[in-house]
């Protein structure tokens, strides 16, 4: 009896099992035409739909659409051990014989595969609190990156200023240069960080990845580097021109607009959505806050409360000393 294996949505290898059981799993809706399957004799993993004749699926239910031929899996990796790690333990005997039939899963198993949006499913937009939690994480990341550059700069210019102290003109020039570099790093590092991360394959900064969100165009397409760069610049200008009130205004817009867009999203035609939005797995989208978001909000609330108590205590202490 031929033994079959298939890769589930979590990239785990399931099997061995008979062809009849594999067909029954399909008819029960547990797997579909894009599910990768393998049996001894196949050089690579194949989409189930490409083996429909062998499995007797030509009489399949109407839910299976064979009008578009599935894309075959990529060529097999050279290292059998790496293939076993990719799909779990229990690899067929073919892998032990000196080659591996395993190939990287096709696009339906990868949330970012090809970055090609899938339309027609429900889209869950990331709301105010998920975006706020992501911004807290990203603020910490960008602060660390900025200070990693600023601290050596301050040390170098500290030595330079002490050396140039005897020359008033040279000292003033060094001070101006330091201020310009300081602003360039403080503003440039976050702009490049968000532009690079939002235009990458993840479509998300580290904060957004943590809360399960990503940035896309209004139609679900990935954003380019320059669109992501200008998106941050638009947000920064809005905050500066409103003397900081832009942060509050953006938050209110995210809370009350239909697609949870802030002003810089509207200007640059972007959305912040769940990481499974515009994929072939829209049912996996997180509609609540999520564990990470809740943890970040609780920690931020505690730190804010501690800081508020410390400020009140310092004011009281200063008043008593008078």
CA dihedral 34, 75, 277, 85 (to 10 degrees): 100
CA dihedral 287, 291, 294, 299 (to 10 degrees): -160
% of residues, the chain, pLDDT over 70: 74
Q: What is the pTM of this model?
A: 0.63
The pLDDT tens digits for 193-237 are 999 999 999 999 999 999 999 999 998 999 999 999 999 999 999
Q: What is the pLDDT of residue 120?
A: 62
- The shares of helix, strand and coil residues in the chain, as percent rounded to the nearest 5, are 55, 10, 35
Q: What is the pLDDT of residue 156?
A: 76
Q: What is the pLDDT of residue 96?
A: 38
Greatest mean pLDDT range, 9-23, 258-272, 281-295: 258-272
* pLDDT exceeds cutoff 90 at 142: yes
Q: What whole-number distance in Å separates Cα of residue 238 and Cα of residue 61?
A: 55
Q: What is the pLDDT of residue 214?
A: 96
322: confidence class by pLDDT, cuts 50, 70, 90:
low
The pLDDT tens digits for 271-312 are 999 999 988 788 889 988 999 999 999 999 999 999 999 999
**Lowest-pLDDT range of 19-28, 140-149, 210-219, 271-280:** 19-28
The pLDDT tens digits for 90-130 are 444 434 333 344 444 443 444 444 445 666 678 999 999 99
- What is the separation, in whole angstroms, between the first and last Cα of the chain? 92
241: confidence class by pLDDT, cuts 50, 70, 90:
very high
């Amino acid at each position: 009896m031929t033994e079959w294996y298939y890769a589930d949505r979590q990239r785990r290898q399931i099997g061995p099992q008979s062809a009849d059981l594999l067909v029954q799993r399909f008819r029960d809706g547990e797997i579909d035409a894009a599910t990768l399957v393998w049996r001894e004799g196949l050089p690579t993993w194949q989409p189930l739909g490409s083996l429909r004749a062998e499995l007797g699926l030509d009489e399949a239910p109407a839910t299976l659409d064979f009008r578009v031929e599935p894309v075959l899996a990529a060529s097999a990796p050279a290292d059998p051990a790496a293939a076993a790690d990719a799909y779990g333990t229990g690899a067929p005997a073919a892998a032990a014989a000196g080659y591996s039939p395993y190939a990287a899963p096709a696009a339906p198993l990868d949330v970012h595969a090809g970055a090609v949006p899938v339309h027609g499913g429900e889209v869950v937009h990331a709301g105010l609190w998920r975006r706020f939690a992501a911004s807290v994480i990203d603020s910490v990341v960008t602060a660390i990156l900025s200070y990693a550059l600023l601290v050596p700069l301050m040390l170098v210019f500290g030595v330079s200023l002490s050396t140039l102290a005897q020359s008033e003109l040279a000292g003033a020039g060094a001070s101006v240069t330091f201020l310009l570099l300081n602003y360039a790093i403080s503003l440039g590092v976050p702009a490049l960080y968000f532009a690079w991360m939002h235009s990458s394959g993840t479509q998300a900064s580290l904060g957004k990845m943590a809360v399960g969100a990503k940035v896309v165009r209004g139609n679900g397409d990935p954003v380019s580097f320059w669109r992501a760069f200008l998106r941050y610049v638009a947000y920064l200008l809005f905050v500066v021109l409103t003397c900081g009130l832009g942060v509050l205004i953006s938050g209110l817009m995210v809370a009350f607009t239909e697609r949870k867009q802030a002003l810089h999203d509207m200007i640059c035609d972007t959305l912040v959505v769940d990481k499974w939005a515009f994929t072939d797995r829209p049912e996996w989208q997180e509609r609540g806050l999520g564990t990470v978001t809740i943890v970040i909000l609780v920690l931020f609330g505690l730190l804010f409360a501690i800081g508020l108590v410390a400020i009140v205590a310092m004011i009281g202490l200063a008043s008593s000393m008078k």
